[in-house]
Amino acid sequence: MIHLIMAIQIMSFFFIFKSISRYPFTFKETIVWLVVFLMVGFVSTYFIGIWGAITLFICFMGISYFKSPRNFTALGVFYGAYALIMNSFLGYLVSNPITWLVEFVFRQSSANTEYLPYLFTAMAPPIINEAGLRLVRHYVPQLNKEILQEFSKVILLPVIILLVIIIISVYPILSIGNRTGDYNSVHRTLLLGMWMLFIVALLYMLIQYNHIQRREIEKSKSEQLAQLKDYAAQLEKIYDEFRGFRHDYANILLTLEDGIKREDWEQVKQVYENTVKPTGQLMRKNEYSFVKLRNLHVSEVKSILAAKIIMAQQMKIDVTLEIEETIHDIPMDLISFTRILSILLDNAIEAAAKTEAPKLWIVFLEDRSIQRITIENSCGENVSLRRLGERGYSTKGKGRGLGLYNVQHILKQHKFASLETEAGSNVFSQTLILRTGER
């Protein structure tokens, strides 16, 4: 029975870690990691007692590195420390109530219930933790891991330091309690103080996150306002050109009518060459890609597209934008989507600008169940599709290759989103697929 209780306690650490990190685990991965945890937990507990939980902390960081190398130094450490403290905190919190409840329920039973309080206490932490997290997530929006990682020095580092202090302070007291079977008043007061500090650390993280998120949203809105002003300026330019053409339209028709009546084909030809033909070229100019943005009713995305189209035009790139269906919503959180879109567009513009005939195609397609955003560009370099998305891989030289790596990392957090890549003769294409299940 003792070994069963110990096994449940060790597995409790893993399930709390799994719940807070929300890393995707297959059934096979879950079994493998549980076996590893049980082996490491039993061996370390046998030699160093309650401090064996620290070896599980090393296992947690190993899982974090395996699941997400970029988040290892910050989020991985936080997840591991959280699992250690929460398991101990909840176990300590419910031990006395569970003991009292078992004694009350079995007060007239002759069965041996000596181990039942320990068994239920070992099982309780992951259950209570999961229920608590579900309640919090119901009222508090899920924290964006990209923001947590990007601002880890402000959000996570102070919290991690506090959690390490708590671990170093709590485990000696828990070790004494395990040996003596009870805690004196000083120890109970210290434990209560450490648990309060743990709650303060989590509140600090949430407050800092909300502050930084609001700041990032305001910054994004300022950038979008500037981009929308550029977009409005382009539309005004287009309107002025059409207004000028409309002013001359009647005169062009009268001149053509006069030439046709008199069968003066030289005059007709001259009108066509000097007025009609330039008008056709005017209608095909890059600026008229902006007209298609009228079908996009997501201001954040519209402003980014407008800014990137202007950038491409300034680099003499022929831009084609197709948005035939009206789009009112993006089935992904806008912070993640705009980051992905910006990276893909920047890469496409940079690659197209290096070709002899630079071209960029942007196509939005939508039906009832799926949304596709295709970005295609002229390309003069060979690209390894197999290595594309690896950290550091780039055809642009050293110190590059983080853009698509970051895209892949963001997509891992959105199970309804995927990216398809194709490379043909002098053309490179990427299609972002968003399924409406993300809504």
**pLDDT of 29 strictly over 50:** yes
pLDDT tens string 106-146: 777 766 677 788 788 888 889 998 988 888 877 766 677 77
Q: What is the pLDDT, as a whole number, of residue 391?
A: 47
Decide which of 393 and 211 is more confident.
211
Decide which of 199 and 179 is more confident.
199
The 3 state secondary structure assigned to 249-316 is HHHHHHHHHHHHHCCCHHHHHHHHHHHHHHHHHHHCCHHHHHHHHHHECCHHHHHHHHHHHHHHHHCC
Residues 339, 304: Cα–Cα separation, whole Å: 10
pLDDT tens string 73-87: 677 888 888 888 888
Residues 237, 285: Cα–Cα separation, whole Å: 12
Q: What is the pLDDT, as a whole number, of residue 242?
A: 64
Q: What is the pLDDT, as a whole number, of residue 277?
A: 66
pLDDT averaged over every residue in the chain? 79
Residues 347, 394: Cα–Cα separation, whole Å: 11
Q: What is the pLDDT, as a whole number, of residue 389?
A: 47
Share of the chain above pLDDT 90, in %: 7
| pTM (predicted TM-score) | 0.59
Decide which of 147 and 382 is more confident.
147
Decide which of 87 and 384 is more confident.
87
Q: What is the pLDDT, as a whole number, of residue 24?
A: 81
**pLDDT of 72 strictly over 60:** no
Q: What is the pLDDT, as a whole number, of residue 439?
A: 44
Range 361-388 average pLDDT:
81
Range 61-76 average pLDDT:
72
Q: What is the pLDDT, as a whole number, of residue 226?
A: 72
Range 172-180 average pLDDT:
70
Q: What is the pLDDT, as a whole number, of residue 364?
A: 93
Q: What is the pLDDT, as a whole number, of residue 431?
A: 93
Residues 377, 423: Cα–Cα separation, whole Å: 10
Instruction: Tell which residue, 306, 429, 338, has the closest CA to residue 378.
Output: 429
pLDDT tens string 30-61: 898 889 888 888 888 777 776 777 788 888 88
Decide which of 13 and 267 is more confident.
13
Lowest mean pLDDT across 126-135, 229-238, 283-292: 283-292
Range 392-411 average pLDDT:
60
